[in-house]
Structure 1
Amino acid sequence: MWKLKFGEGASNPLLRSSNGFLGRETWEFDPNGGSPEEHAVVERLRRDFTRNRFTQRDKHEVSNLKDSSEVTEEVLLTSLRRVLDQYSSLQAPDGYWPGGYSGILFILPLMNEDGGWSTHTLGPSSMFGSCVNYATLRLLGEVLDEHNDGLSKGRAWILSHGSATVAPQWAKIYLSGTIQLFQNYGCFHIFFPFIQVLNMICCWIENPNSNAFRRHLPRIHDFLWLAEDGMKSKAVLLLSKIPPTEVGDPIQEQRLYDAIDCLLSYVNKDGTLSSAESKRTTPWVEFINPSESFRNIIVDYPYVECTSSLIQALILFKGVHPGYRREEIDRIIKNGVLFIEKKQKNDGSWYGSWAVCFTYATFFAIKGLVAAGRTFQNSLSIRKACNFLLSKQLSTGGWGEDYLGCQVEEYIDSGRPHVVHTAWGMLGLIYAGQVELDPAPLYRAAKELINMQLETGEFPQQEILGSFNSSLFFNYTNYRNLFPIWALGEFHRRLLAKRA
């Protein structure tokens, strides 16, 4: 059985930490761990996963409310208590909630029924995923013979679709072994745990006995481990070094200033915020994009959701320190609001590139505008956004968006509710003032969420939620609980305020 261990590493001289390994989580296999009954459950779940991995379940585990039942304040509180009790039990001793990383299949593979591998869990087989994973299996010792049906099917898929010569650039780089390029450019180590892997291999090629390579080895456990249903991975491995500010503490106050100064240094000249760095050039240079797998990666463009978060952070900071860099901060907030309003589509939505997709971006855009003083009454953008969200609400009360909308940049209705999309739709309407205008749509949405809640109190894991440059799709595993908690809690709070 696997055990999750927290905060360890101080005894290893090859590991370094600036915060005493706070937040570090690793998995350790205990061959003697678990009772026979627990082992039997794990084996049953593993078999069920293998047997049903190509089956999509549309029905919910539990129906908590009948059609005629009303969503009262007590019903909301009961739902919130159930999920909070369960979710609190999953909190790590260090104070955070652990989460996995899944969805991108050239990192963690899952073979499709046709014999190929996709680039993400919901997509069709691709030459990228198929070539890389087929070669990996051969390197790991899998033999192509009449007993290995999976490997034979994989080879047949590759040959019937043009062979590795038509694979995109990334696949060819992996297959050719020219990984030293990544050591020089370090393109992807922030976002994906593998240019960690590639950097480690580069260090080994340079000198397998080097201290640099030896330091890489214990870090493998930080982002890769084997679970009962296969290998798991974590994504961003960076942690904030800035603790919460305590009023009156001069050291903490200085750290807050440092944090704001750091944030302002990343703001684009037009008052917007991109995803990882300031926008440094113009879109025309995208023609030198060497990757067939990703679009729009040469320029880090400003995003609505990032700019909205920037506005909210600066407004909160102003409330504590209104005089600090006041003119600059006021100008950034003003320009950020103008950017968000300008990026609104004709149907009232916003498009976001870092999560699926329109419901998310629209919720974040509304929240940023409201933080800056816009309301349903004084903002045409917010009124249009409310109309958009209401027009996409399903007859059952929820929202459900297909991930393909990220690729075509148009809203695609999946036809079935998604817990996180429903929470985003609710939150967008709540912050826009829908409770005060007409709470009926929110009651229907809350009922949908409560009916999707599981017996454990948590909410179900459904389709993928994240996107990378509108090309790759993955899961944020904690979203399924975080956003429903937020939506139901905010709805309950607003109802109490309205009654008062």
Structure 2
Amino acid sequence: MWKIKFGSGGEDPYLYSTNNFLGRQIFEFDEKAGTHEERAQVEEARHNFYKNRYNVTPCSDLICRFQDDEEITYEKADAAMRRSINFWSALQSPHGHWPAQNAGVMFYIPPLVFCMYICGHLDKVFNKHHKREMLWYMYCHQNEDGGWGLHIQGPSMMMCTVLNYLAMRILGESADGGLDNACSKAQKWIHDHGGAVGSGSWGKTWMAILGVYEWDGCNPMPPEFWFYPSIVPLHPCKYSTNLLYFFLTKMFCYCRLTFMPMSYFYGRKFVSEITPLIKQLREEIHIIPYKDIKWSKMRHVCAKEDNYYPHGKVQRLLWDCVYYLAEPIINTWPFNKIREKAVQRAMEHIHYEDENSRYITIGCVEKPLMMLACWVEDPDGEYFKKHIPRVDDYLWVAEDGLTMQSFGSQTWDCSLTVQALFAGNINKEIAAVLKKAHEFLKMSQVRENPPNHLDHFRHISKGAWTFSDRDHGWQVSDCTAEALKCCLLLGMMRSELVGEPMKAENMYDAVNVIMSLQSPNGGVSAWEPTGAPKWLEFLNPVEFLEDLVIEYEYIECTSSSIQALNLFRKSHPGHREKEVDKFITNAANYLEDTQMADGSWYGNWGICFVYGTWFAIRGLEGAGRHYNNCEAVRRGVEFLLETQREDGGWAESYTSYGDFPQQELMGVFMRNCMSHYAAYRNIFPNWALAEYRNLVPFPSTN
């Protein structure tokens, strides 16, 4: 039976942590765990999910929720006062956070399978139980037409269908095997829609690495990019050496760190060993014989299902110039010496990012790429060995199988949960729960900047919180703001109830990070400062994601930052007072300026207009702008009233119309990629119920 473990480093000499693995959550299969009834309960949940997979695609995270080992005593139930708060409190981990899935994207797990297969570690890292659950996840989320979508509720697309088909075959299924003929149905979908050459660019890259596609069919990803002088607009970072960023031209960090290892593989034209299985796959996914494919003509081919963000003529001309003019030159002597040094430079950056994320890396797309790059450099090296034990940090098991998360959402979910619980005004009764969460948040704050961060295109992180845990290392403005709010609120309570308050200097560090991410227009970005020109998005090389190249300001980040700094200035009125006041004023102006014509705001990280409007109004409220003195708030309220349903609730799906069942997807990134946030359906109802009870006068029996 699968069991979730917390804070386990084991005895692996290549696994290390800056924080004693606080917040680490991994799944292990225990042959002896659970009673017969409990194991039957898990199997029933798995099969129920499969039978209903076309009606309800996100999982309910039941395998994790079945594992509440803490006994609910009468005293604890009585103290919680409410069944909802009692239930959610009981699911708190021993570390103080609330474990929950953050996944749902269908191109996450296949590259990890490819990486382990290429490295010869597939059977070493994944046992039969891992493989069984990975296949189950693919079965459960295969569409009725045989393909897979970008996410678990999306229509079938070529890239995800090809990647999942290849993964199923590598995991042991035959070409006509799989549950309900999963493989043959997938192969038919691929052939009916033009073959694997229609995959998006990321799919082509992984296929080229695997050996079922040729590098000549990929648009260039030159590693010389890392040698360009910073005056070049496309360079990943441009900064002044005195730390004062001017006309900051920096790629979006996830784009930068995805193409970093891709450029390494492209520069080396690395191809894995061509095994008999790879030879079979070459013939299975293409509609004409592999040897007859004109690869150079495939570079711009993209299936209509994948082409969410079509490449324009200018971009195609750019890639053609690099492909036909620059690449032949750089690959001939003596210029090939530059290519060798560029590949080495890319690898140096990869090692830096690995070390400063404790080999978690920035996210699940980058993890298998960077891990494989370390193996290609040295199959027996320390770098690769340090990557292996961190694979478990990404895996999540539920009734729909085993998948790879974007990364953990420990800090984010904990911060929202604390505020939802705090809103219930029963803090003394749930003090033990709040204390554990308080300690988790205090211990999860990032304590240092990455060493020599400007030389590696990194922003400051000292004082920030990440989306997941401290080891991850990547600062996020709204995660920092929401965690800071919690620490400020809990710091107002008696220390004997919720622990000692956070030190003032640690709060000052958090404020520094938040304020460093405000743009001239008043908005707040997520990971790094903005500043790159918008026209660079026309060079977005990815067909299925939008707004990928540069960093932007976000409604949610701006709102969270206002709320946190407003609370901070009340408790620490003497610290950077004028700067904080100016920050809040400018941020509130940004929120008013970005309101849509119907009174709503666009939410970037949730679905979508109701979510964004909730954040925006809370942000304006934090700046002292409310219904009576702010037209934007009144318009926002009118939008909410006009969109309320007859049953009293609100509904919105990721397509911005129709119903919003409890288990529809609730997260989103890069405009069109949906994500499954399993904790939201517990956090927000609790929060709403508490606020309703606080604000609405009820009849009293007393």
2: CA distance, partners of 1:10 / 1:150: 37
Give the drift of 1:384: 0.8
2: CA distance, partners of 1:392 / 1:107: 35
The reply to whether residue 132 of structure 1 matches residue 132 of structure 2 is no
Q: More displaced, 148-157 or 482-491?
A: 148-157
1:85-123 Cα shifts (integer Å, max 9, x gaps): 111111000110001122211125421111111111111
With over 3 angstroms needed to count, the CA separation of the structure-2 counterparts of 1:498 and 1:181, relative to structure 1, is farther
The one-letter amino acid of 1:323's match is G
- The match for 1:263 is 514
- The match for 1:342 is 593
Give the drift of 1:325: 1.8
With over 3 angstroms needed to count, the CA separation of the structure-2 counterparts of 1:290 and 1:359, relative to structure 1, is same
- Report 1:153-168 matches (<5 A): 153-168=185-200
- Report 1:191-210 matches (<5 A): 192-210=363-381
With over 3 angstroms needed to count, the CA separation of the structure-2 counterparts of 1:240 and 1:152, relative to structure 1, is same
1: CA distance, partners of 2:648 / 2:543: 39
The reply to whether residue 100 of structure 1 matches residue 110 of structure 2 is no
With over 3 angstroms needed to count, the CA separation of the structure-2 counterparts of 1:139 and 1:359, relative to structure 1, is same
Q: More displaced, 388-397 or 247-256?
A: 247-256
How many pairs align? 430
The one-letter amino acid of 2:183's match is L
Give the drift of 1:318: 0.9
Whether contact under 8 Å (2:546, 2:670) holds in the other structure is yes
The one-letter amino acid of 2:683's match is L
Percent identity over the alignment?
Answer: 38
2: CA distance, partners of 1:182 / 1:231: 30
Whether contact under 8 Å (2:200, 2:543) holds in the other structure is yes
- The match for 1:221 is 392
2: CA distance, partners of 1:280 / 1:131: 37
The reply to whether residue 120 of structure 1 matches residue 151 of structure 2 is yes
What value does the CA root-mean-square deviation take over the aligned residues?
2.9
Give the drift of 1:194: 3.6
- The match for 2:688 is 487
With over 3 angstroms needed to count, the CA separation of the structure-2 counterparts of 1:235 and 1:80, relative to structure 1, is farther
> Which of 637, 650, 663 in structure 2 is aligned with 1:386?
637
Whether contact under 8 Å (2:56, 2:664) holds in the other structure is no
Give the drift of 1:41: 2.1
Question: 3-state DSSP class of the match of 2:503?
Answer: helix
With over 3 angstroms needed to count, the CA separation of the structure-2 counterparts of 1:340 and 1:486, relative to structure 1, is same
Whether contact under 8 Å (2:175, 2:184) holds in the other structure is yes
The one-letter amino acid of 1:399's match is W
Question: 3-state DSSP class of the match of 1:232?
Answer: strand
With over 3 angstroms needed to count, the CA separation of the structure-2 counterparts of 1:306 and 1:315, relative to structure 1, is same
> Which of 262, 275, 279 in structure 2 is aligned with 1:181?
262
With over 3 angstroms needed to count, the CA separation of the structure-2 counterparts of 1:266 and 1:160, relative to structure 1, is same
> Taking structure 2 as the reference length, what is the TM-score of the superposition?
0.57
Question: 3-state DSSP class of the match of 1:28?
Answer: strand
Whether contact under 8 Å (1:101, 1:474) holds in the other structure is yes
With over 3 angstroms needed to count, the CA separation of the structure-2 counterparts of 1:190 and 1:213, relative to structure 1, is closer
Question: 3-state DSSP class of the match of 2:520?
Answer: coil
1: CA distance, partners of 2:537 / 2:502: 44
- The match for 1:232 is 403
The one-letter amino acid of 1:236's match is F
1:44-98 Cα shifts (integer Å, max 9, x gaps): 22222222211249xxxxxxxxxxxxxxxxxxx9997111111111100011000
2: CA distance, partners of 1:146 / 1:270: 56
The reply to whether residue 277 of structure 1 matches residue 278 of structure 2 is no
2: CA distance, partners of 1:365 / 1:5: 37
The one-letter amino acid of 1:258's match is D
The one-letter amino acid of 1:221's match is D
1: CA distance, partners of 2:569 / 2:699: 28
The reply to whether residue 370 of structure 1 matches residue 621 of structure 2 is yes
- Report 1:313-328 matches (<5 A): 313-328=564-579
2: CA distance, partners of 1:22 / 1:482: 22
2: CA distance, partners of 1:491 / 1:395: 18
The one-letter amino acid of 2:7's match is G
- Report 1:276-295 matches (<5 A): 276-295=527-546
The one-letter amino acid of 1:105's match is M
Give the drift of 1:143: 2.0
With over 3 angstroms needed to count, the CA separation of the structure-2 counterparts of 1:494 and 1:80, relative to structure 1, is farther
2: CA distance, partners of 1:316 / 1:485: 22
Question: 3-state DSSP class of the match of 1:294?
Answer: coil
Whether contact under 8 Å (1:394, 1:417) holds in the other structure is no
1: CA distance, partners of 2:153 / 2:175: 27
With over 3 angstroms needed to count, the CA separation of the structure-2 counterparts of 1:147 and 1:470, relative to structure 1, is closer
With over 3 angstroms needed to count, the CA separation of the structure-2 counterparts of 1:130 and 1:315, relative to structure 1, is same
Give the drift of 1:225: 4.4
- The match for 1:434 is none
2: CA distance, partners of 1:360 / 1:153: 38
The reply to whether residue 307 of structure 1 matches residue 558 of structure 2 is yes
With over 3 angstroms needed to count, the CA separation of the structure-2 counterparts of 1:56 and 1:475, relative to structure 1, is closer
- Report 1:54-65 matches (<5 A): 54-56=54-56
Whether contact under 8 Å (2:395, 2:402) holds in the other structure is yes
With over 3 angstroms needed to count, the CA separation of the structure-2 counterparts of 1:371 and 1:90, relative to structure 1, is same
With over 3 angstroms needed to count, the CA separation of the structure-2 counterparts of 1:472 and 1:34, relative to structure 1, is same
Whether contact under 8 Å (1:271, 1:331) holds in the other structure is no
Whether contact under 8 Å (1:101, 1:232) holds in the other structure is no
1: CA distance, partners of 2:502 / 2:145: 60
With over 3 angstroms needed to count, the CA separation of the structure-2 counterparts of 1:79 and 1:124, relative to structure 1, is farther
Q: More displaced, 357-366 or 93-102?
A: 93-102
Question: 3-state DSSP class of the match of 1:382?
Answer: helix
The one-letter amino acid of 1:211's match is E
- The match for 2:204 is 172
- The match for 1:22 is 22
2: CA distance, partners of 1:134 / 1:98: 30
Question: 3-state DSSP class of the match of 1:231?
Answer: strand
1: CA distance, partners of 2:621 / 2:398: 43
2: CA distance, partners of 1:372 / 1:398: 28
Question: 3-state DSSP class of the match of 2:143?
Answer: coil
Question: 3-state DSSP class of the match of 1:120?
Answer: coil
Give the drift of 1:355: 1.0
Question: 3-state DSSP class of the match of 2:688?
Answer: helix
With over 3 angstroms needed to count, the CA separation of the structure-2 counterparts of 1:206 and 1:498, relative to structure 1, is farther
1: CA distance, partners of 2:46 / 2:594: 46
Whether contact under 8 Å (1:7, 1:24) holds in the other structure is yes
1: CA distance, partners of 2:571 / 2:10: 37
- The match for 1:456 is none
- The match for 2:51 is 51
Whether contact under 8 Å (1:268, 1:278) holds in the other structure is yes
Give the drift of 1:234: 3.1
Whether contact under 8 Å (1:182, 1:198) holds in the other structure is no
The one-letter amino acid of 2:445's match is S
1:228-276 Cα shifts (integer Å, max 9, x gaps): 5311333335853369475899981111111111222222223221122
The reply to whether residue 91 of structure 1 matches residue 122 of structure 2 is no
- Report 1:458-473 matches (<5 A): 461-473=662-674
- The match for 2:33 is 33
